[in-house]
Amino acid sequence: MPLPHEKYLEEVLIDEASLQKRVAELGQQITADYAACPDLLMICILKGGIMFLVDLTRHVHVPHEIDFLAVSSYGKGSRESTGKVRIDMDLSTNVSDRHILIVEDIIDSGETLRFVMDVLLARRPASLRLCTLLNKPSRRRIEIPIDYVGFEIENKFVFGYGLDLDEKFRNLPFIGVVKLDALPEAEG
């Protein structure tokens, strides 16, 4: 019997072992870069970044805190950003004079992250860096500085490992490419 996600899966783009290896490497790099930092705050962009954050934080061996920021620019069932970003859930931590590392699942157009970075910069952190699991440079409309990149990918609609397909399948341990002809006509 096929699993529920299989009808939407065109191919596995990044397997579980490759994901975990790269996340560990990013954790080592972040640990080295923040070795002298007493005040690291890792901010996860919800919901997609949660799986990445959980695994990444296990490999960051400097004292740090975590907080969460929920923003949205995609409507339910949509594959395209609306271009209008809003904060759905704000931080519970004061970021003033803190060293901030944003942890994001995927950077596509750059519009959402530019908005988030501008909001956080207005709160006067000591530093602000960005870590993304996936970077899609071919879709970039707004250039933003990315300090840590897990994988660069082509312009493919992906899901799994925190990335959703209409809010489902975030729990998959790999990143797959969506079989577009399997989607209902109403989506996208």
Active site residues: 108
CA 157 to chain CA centroid, nearest Å: 14
Q: Coil, strand or helix: which one is 182?
A: helix
Residue identified by tokens 């901010």 is 43
Q: Coil, strand or helix: which one is 89?
A: strand
- Rounded CA gap, 17 and 28, in Å? 17
- Rounded CA gap, 134 and 41, in Å? 21
- Do residues 95 and 120 touch, judged by C-beta distance below 8 A? yes
- Rounded CA gap, 114 and 122, in Å? 12
